Structure 1
């Protein structure tokens, strides 16, 4: 990792944050992107009323004119800067690279632009300008070395939840859940709910049973193979065991992001390089070799349109379960699973919300 690039793992533990008018988060861990942007939003817009100064766009369906209009708008009712966040911004950066280079190269701005992308090539002119004038944060988790992940989990557990994890307990948690940041954070939240400060291996073994993770894989596989009744039956099994709809959604999100990453990698080859095969894209997104053939079949059945929209669907479902809609969280989860299993919805017109 270049010296000018921060690791999201280190950044999330820091108390101080650099000042800059342009930020880029890149990498394959969607949850780390979310945590990083959440931290920045709290710093940039500390009061609820400051949210009026926030504009969020999806890079797939916005234009530079939309973004630039917000960047040059002066805040009328607060001293805080306006903040413009563009998520899933790979295609946006490709389309408006010249405009972005011009904007970044000009004198420092008061308002803030944050771009969230999967890929960020450091040799491009835009990347060099951002490295000079802004901040770049790498959001990767599974690619980190095992000792680094163990160390970070212990620090994160203490900082966020006031938990003290024994080394062996941390090792067991990582082994049980796998190197998936969202799932690990979810399990730490459960452990914090026990009301005990120190976490032992016995507590981890009892609460984070791998059968839950395995069951969520089975739910996703059944849904994508058109076995909707089987998928819903497994959901009900988890709910009866005490899992919450939001908890199941969190595990599904960490797993389904592989399809989004693989689809983007397949459809958008790196400059000067040949397009990778779909199995190659799945491999790069973290799918193990023995599962590539089956995962390719499921992704093809899902279709590129729905795969590209998965992240947006999951974010909307998460917000809905947290109160943005009056619908029961269980019904939101069931609707998502039903839509995943509808091959006639491959054009993306049928959405879960």
Structure 2
């Protein structure tokens, strides 16, 4: 059997349907096991859907030959492997067993899975595992690298998500998405691909069916369905610009509406880390020619309104506080995942972070 790649990126497979089919359908490539590694449920869901369509082209085949288990229920591995080993009598479809949220299942049955991963799939089906982590130095991972397929479903740190989003919008929604618009959407929503896809669906419905379906950056905040994201952006902009009272008021509204403190700070961190990067670039030996150039190089959207707001925020924060932002964000993240994980403590932790960003309150809090 041909050796598999150690890891294939799920985001790439979503843009190229034929490549996924070639990795699992061709006889010389047929895997004994497919492992989805990562915690992006949007990518996981779409990869599983593509797998079903690749293997089960007929609806009847799909309903008969695809079975899902929950790893959290600790299913008996013998039942799962029996599903995979069953050869269909009246269907051409391969039998596939999928274990969702399978981290604990893998830990409990590693030896059985190692033996299974090292076998040739023959005429049977194959096993799909969905896990958050899959260390490459384990015997199981090495066996899957040799005889199966590992698909990374998380977004790599330096991945060109702007370019990917442009291609996804064109393929799925027939939208021409300029790079600056894609950057604006990512700025508003972070790397939450599920939310981004829902926003693209809203945008697609708002654009004319005929003619050029292009989305300028100015339209992003005005379209229906972006109200929550606009409020988050306004909160971050107010905090960075020193309007602490306004930022706290917007925060309280979002938390009262049921938003997650960790989710809100993650979106804020996406923007604020760009400000920190811009400040670092301006201090470096190859400093950009202007404040705007530094912000663009740091990943801030280049459309006029966004750039103007970012320049004002950067001037208000100053070099020292921009330099401290990553440390403050890390401290806030630790706090929200520990002693300030919920309720009033979570609210106060974020409010204190906003105060650190303001000119006068920040100095008082830092001196405590």
- TM-score normalised by L of structure 2: 0.59
How far apart are the structure 1 equivalents of 2:227 and 2:134? 36
Change (3 A) 1:93 1:191: same
**Residue 214 of structure 1: CA displacement?**
7.3
Change (3 A) 1:36 1:297: farther
List alignment gaps of at least 5 residues for structure 1.
Answer: 218-229, 236-250, 259-286, 302-353
Q: Secondary structure at the match of 1:60?
A: helix
Residue aligning to 2:154: 140
The 5 Å alignment of 1:152-163 reads 152-163=164-175
How far apart are the structure 2 equivalents of 1:56 and 1:7? 23
**Residue 210 of structure 1: CA displacement?**
6.0
Residue aligning to 1:8: 10
Change (3 A) 1:41 1:98: same
**Residue 300 of structure 1: CA displacement?**
7.3
C-alpha distance after superposition, 1:191-224 (max 9, x if no partner)? 111134211112223127764137799xxxxxxx
Equivalent position to 1:29, from 24, 40, 43: 40
**Residue 151 of structure 1: CA displacement?**
0.7
Change (3 A) 1:232 1:295: closer
How far apart are the structure 2 equivalents of 1:66 and 1:299? 39
The 5 Å alignment of 1:1-353 reads 4-16=6-18, 17=20, 18-19=23-24, 20-21=30-31, 22-50=33-61, 51-61=63-73, 62-109=75-122, 110-141=124-155, 143-145=156-158, 148-196=160-208, 197-207=213-223, 211-213=227-229, 234=257, 255=263, 289-297=331-339, 299=341
Contact 1:28 1:140 in 2 (8 A): yes
- Name which one, 1 or 2, has greater alpha-carbon Rg: 2
Q: Which runs of 4+ in 1 moved over 4 A?
A: 208-211, 214-217, 230-233, 297-301
How far apart are the structure 2 equivalents of 1:231 and 1:202? 24
- Give the count of matched residue pairs: 241
Contact 2:10 2:153 in 1 (8 A): yes
C-alpha distance after superposition, 1:179-199 (max 9, x if no partner)? 111111111111111134211
**Residue 31 of structure 1: CA displacement?**
1.8
RMSD over aligned Cα atoms:
3.1
List alignment gaps of at least 5 residues for structure 2.
Answer: 25-29, 234-252, 267-328, 344-368
Change (3 A) 1:150 1:232: closer
How far apart are the structure 1 equivalents of 2:172 and 2:139? 37
- TM-score normalised by L of structure 1: 0.61
C-alpha distance after superposition, 1:216-247 (max 9, x if no partner)? 99xxxxxxxxxxxx999837xxxxxxxxxxxx
Contact 2:10 2:47 in 1 (8 A): yes
Change (3 A) 1:28 1:66: same
How far apart are the structure 1 equivalents of 2:340 and 2:57? 42
Change (3 A) 1:173 1:208: farther
Q: Secondary structure at the match of 2:81?
A: helix
C-alpha distance after superposition, 1:47-99 (max 9, x if no partner)? 22122211100112112022112112222331111111111011111111111
